[in-house]
Amino acid sequence: MDRPKNLKEALREDLTEEELEELGTSFDIVGDIAILKLSEKLLDKKKRIGKALMEVHGNLSTVLRQTSPVSGEFRTRDLEVIAGEHKTVTEHKEHGCVFRVDLAKVYFSPRLAHERFIIAQKVNPGEVVTNMFAGVGCYSIVIGRHAEPEKVYSIDKNSDAVSYMRHNIRVNKLGDVVIPIEGDAREAIDEYIGGKSDRVLMPLPEFGREFFDSALEALKPEGGIIHFYDYGEEPDLFKPSFDFIKSASRGRSVKLKDKRVVRSYAPNLYHVVLDLEVGAK
């Protein structure tokens, strides 16, 4: 029998028209695991839906249903297996790098792949980079692989994320470049990496504003670049973020070099990034 072209086609016999409408079309694939959200109305068909997704994508081992929003300090989510092997660990390939992740214990989104590559292209040879919220090390490793930084300090507070980060640094052969640091970004910057960075990444839009003073501290006294991730709403996606930056820049000059929508979250709500050039202390 031919492989069905998409999930709706695979389920045409099993779901009513109304249920097919409820299904939605978006899901993430991370390595050999798919993650989807289902509306309440479809929960009694979840196993059939999981199996159908495996029929459509022949290389999947597992289908997970996301049962809570991404939440908490570590930005994790609850998941349940609805088809295939009972596992949450997989290996994901992106831009010539490989990341091992446990989707139940750490944050990971394949939707940030393009943004990670954009950042890597902005890094100049010989730069010292600090990634304040590094997770399993994806931005740091893509930078290490595609740019020629001197060092990438790669901080995360979630000890599971840092264990995977150490593994990922090793398998991507970046042990001389990407330095994993387990702990709070503010404390790590205060204790060892303040004043050393040419560039700082802040990929934590939910709480990034609380750490902007630390990002300034991480920069060299002569200044540098901060990639500040935030949420933006229509009609002006970037102005409230930049107004915040101006109010929090502690007398240092800040120029907006670039700004992008990373992805949309909800109607009218966007994940945005502002690339900031910060002047000398």
Ligand X SMILES: C[S@@+](CC[C@H](N)C(=O)[O-])C[C@H]1O[C@@H](n2cnc3c(N)ncnc32)[C@H](O)[C@@H]1O
> Measured between alpha carbons, how far is 183 from 187 in angstroms, rounded to an integer?
7
CB nearer to ligand X: give 52 or 99.
99
Instruction: Name which position in 203, 208, 224, 232 contacts ligand X (CB under 6 A).
Output: 203
| Residue 270 touches ligand X, criterion: CB under 6 A | no
DSSP state of 193: I
Among 45, 65, 75, 199, binds ligand X (CB under 6 A): 75
The Cα–Cα gap between 15 and 63 comes to 18
Count CB-CB contacts under 10 A for residue 100: 18
Quick check: 198 and 129 in contact, CB under 8 A?
Answer: yes
- Any contact of residue 215 with ligand X (CB under 6 A)? no
Nearest approach in angstroms of CB 273 to ligand X is 12
Within a 13 Å sphere around the CA of 175, how many CA atoms are in the beta-carbon half?
5
78 or 236: CB nearest ligand X:
78
In the set 9, 91, 184, 277, which binds ligand X (CB under 6 A)? 184
> Does 204 interact with ligand X (rule: CB under 6 A)?
yes
Distance of CA 44 to the CA centre of its chain: 31
Question: Taking the complex as a whole, how short is the minimal distance between the CB of residue 213 and ligand X, in angstroms?
Answer: 13
What Å distances lie between residue 79 and 62, 72, 237, CA to CA? 12, 15, 31
Per-residue mark of binding to ligand X, 125-144 (x: CB under 6 A)? --------xxx--xx-----
Radius of gyration, CA atoms only, the chain: 20
Site residues, ligand X (CB under 6 A)? 73-75, 107-108, 112, 133-135, 138-139, 155-158, 161, 184-185, 203-204
